[in-house]
Structure formats: C-alpha cells, structure tokens
Amino acid sequence: MKIIADSAIPFLKGVLEPFAEVRYLPGKAISAADVRDADALLTRTRTRCDAALLAGSRVRLVATATIGFDHIDTAWCTAHGITVTTAAGCNARGVLQWVAAALVHLSRTQGWQPAERTLGVVGVGHVGSLVKTYAEAWGFRVLCCDPPREERERCGFLPLEEVARQADILTFHTPLDDTTRRMAGEELFRRMKPGAVVMNSSRGEVVDGAALLRSGLEWALDVWEHEPDLDPELLGKALLATPHIAGYSEQGKANATAMSVAALARCFGLPLEGWYPPEAAPSVPRPIAWQELCDTIGGVYDIGAESRRLKEHPGDFESLRDRYAYRREYF
Ligand SMILES: O=C(O)[C@H](O)[C@H](O)COP(=O)(O)O
C-alpha cells in the first residue's frame, strides 16, 4: 500500500510506516505523477484534488486534515469511486481563539465593552456555534444567520441582510461553495452600519475584497482572496491581518491528523482507529469570563504582533504559515 501525505501535516511521521510506504511531499508540489500508484492521499488546503491530479490514479481515499474542502472536487471524486473525508470541526476551538483574540483587540483599541456590541455570526456550524456560545457568555448581543440550518431546524436564525443591518461586528464561518462565494459584497456592505467591522476566518473568496475597500467599513481578516498574493490596500488598511492561521492550534492540528488517520484506518482496515498523537497536550474546553480572557489571551496569542508581522512582510505569507508555532488552546 502506498500513501502520499502533505509533509506539513504535523504528528504524522512514523505512524503509518508500519503499514504502508509513505511519501511526504510539500502540498503545492504534489503532482499527478506522484499520486498515480498511490492508494491514498492525505492532504491540506494547498493541494488541488481534482481530475487533473487524480484521473488514472489508483487513489481510493482523499483525506484532508482540514475543515474546509473547497480544494477538493468532491463530485468528481465520488463519480470516480474515491472516498473523500474531512476533519470537520477539528480546529473549531483554534478559530474560536482567533475570534476571541480579535474581539479583545478591538474592544481595547476601539474602547467598547461586549454589552455595547451586536455580533453577527454567519455560518453556525462547528465554529460558528462555539463563537455564538462564548460570545453570548461574554455579554455580546449575538444574531445568527445560517440559511441551510434555518431551513432544516427552524431555530430562529435571521436572514443575512438583517444580521448585517444590526451587527457592529460581522464574523464569517461558512464553507466556500457556490452559495457563499462573495456572499459579502457591495449589496450587503451597503446595508451595514458605517464603521462596522467585517471579520473573516472562513475562506477569502466569501468576501469581495474590492467591495470591502469601497465600503466605509473596517475589517479583520485571516483569509484572503488569491492567497498568497494579498491585495496590498486590503492588507494595509485591515485592523487585523493574519496569514490564514485562525485554526492553527496544537490541539486543532492534532485532531486533524487523528481524524485523517482514522479515515485511513476505516478505509483500509488498519489497526489505527482511536489513534491520537501522544505528544499533543490535551484540550481543556471550559467557559472563560470576558475579564479573564482579556487578562490572559495576550500571553498565549498576541494577534496584534502577528498582524504587524504580516503587514511588514506580506511576501512571507506562506512561510509564516509553514513556520507557525501552533498556539495552545486553553479554553
Ligand atoms: O480548513 C481548515 O481547516 C483551515 O482553513 C486550515 O487551518 C487551513 O489548513 P492548512 O491547509 O493550512 O493545513
């Protein structure tokens, strides 16, 4: 059995070798020739998994160690008998930490308290649900939008336009697909309060950057259209700018690797179900009060410093991600 794995998936080396020949390659460099005689591909967002890569190969499983799967042509894979698995929810607490750090930063620099702000949450899946729960506990008025969930569950979520109209801060946690691509554009921004803040840690293409520049709004972005080639004006004017690392917590990465290994184990009958990186510190989910968050977050994650680094070295976008010191989840 042969496995091709992105060399930047942490905690993986040595785990699969007793059962398979494993070749580690940089995600961007993985080619059709590399996967032709492979049975499985363990990937991240940097490998486009489509017909151009997979046609004519032996690959039966594409397991991505990420929440997002817009880099995979799932329809083509399904039609060609290739199982696709994702690491749904793996880094939800990592993204929550990014949102928390951004909110604390904004409250300090703009001088407000949570009770004075309405937070709009767009996309209430693994990440958005956590953001909603914690933000409500911190004292924000939280309004949610998730049309597919509202359709299924009738849970009282509001239309996007209504959430945007009332929000002081609008944070996006949607997958990228045809219904969400550029869902935040000119028309939506026109409905928002002047000076409201758009936060995006989902996918860059969910937000129309050129429209944002013309909008009179503020923004804090972790994800960007055309990564790693960022629009210099969008970057320069951002209140916070980070290099697509919102989910880069140690536990988030460990969860992602464990979920990918479990997918391999299921698909190929390997005795690795339940495996978890022994070196990863366990997650400690717990409630945290706003004041404790304000007092502690800077010690774990200095989002302001990270933003300055990216603004000073935009050309280092990919290397800042590659060399990232994964943050510790502490709530
Ligand atoms: O989809 C996700 O899980 C995130 O966007 C993730 O943090 C990006 O993953 P990467 O390809 O950098 O591992």
ipTM of the complex: 0.97
**Is the pTM for the entire model greater than 0.95?**
yes
Tell whether omega for the bond before 147 is within 30 degrees of 0, i.e. cis: no
Mutate-to-test residue for ligand 1 from 244, 249, 326, 327, highest number of ligand atoms within 8 A of CB = 244
Q: How far is CA 31 from CA 12, 35, 83, 86, 98, in A?
A: 21, 7, 19, 21, 33
Mutate-to-test residue for ligand 1 from 12, 67, 86, highest number of ligand atoms within 8 A of CB = 67
**Token representation of residue 291:** 């004041």
For ligand 1, atom 13, the nearest C-alpha belongs to 44
Lining residues, ligand 1, CB within 6 Å: 44-46, 66-68, 91, 247-248, 321
**Token representation of residue 24:** 């580690």
Q: How far is the CA of 248 from the centre of ligand 1 (A)?
A: 8
pLDDT score recorded for residue 213? 98
Q: How far is the CA of 11 from the centre of ligand 1 (A)?
A: 15
Q: How far is the CA of 246 from the centre of ligand 1 (A)?
A: 8
**Token representation of residue 330:** 């502490």
pLDDT score recorded for residue 23? 98
Task: Report the Cα–Cα distance between both ends of the chain, in Å, rounded.
Answer: 40
Give CA angle at 58 (10, 263), nearest 5°. 40
pLDDT score recorded for residue 233? 98
Length of the chain: 331
Judging by beta carbons within 10 Å of its beta carbon (0-12, 13-18, 19+), is residue 194 exposed, middle or buried? exposed
Classified as helix, coil or strand, 240 is strand
Residue 31 has φ and ψ, to the nearest 5°, of -120, 170
Show which residues are catalytic. 203, 227, 244
Q: How far is the CA of 44 from the centre of ligand 1 (A)?
A: 6
For ligand 1, atom 7, the nearest C-alpha belongs to 247
Classified as helix, coil or strand, 5 is strand
Q: How many Cα atoms within 13 Å fall on the side-chain side of residue 145?
A: 22
Closest atom of ligand 1 to 68 CA is 1
Query: How do the pLDDT tens digits run along the chain, 331 residues long?
Result: 999 999 999 999 999 999 999 999 999 999 999 999 999 999 999 999 999 999 999 999 999 999 999 999 999 999 999 999 999 999 999 999 999 999 999 999 999 999 999 999 999 999 999 999 999 999 999 999 999 999 999 999 999 999 999 999 999 999 999 999 999 999 999 999 999 999 999 999 999 999 999 999 999 999 999 999 999 999 999 999 999 999 999 999 999 999 999 999 999 999 998 999 999 987 889 999 999 999 999 999 999 999 999 999 999 999 999 999 999 999 9
Contact 205, 229 (CB under 8 A): no
For ligand 1, atom 5, the nearest C-alpha belongs to 68
**Token representation of residue 35:** 């996967």
The closest alpha carbon to 90, from 310, 329, 309, belongs to: 329
Closest atom of ligand 1 to 44 CA is 11
Closest atom of ligand 1 to 69 CA is 1
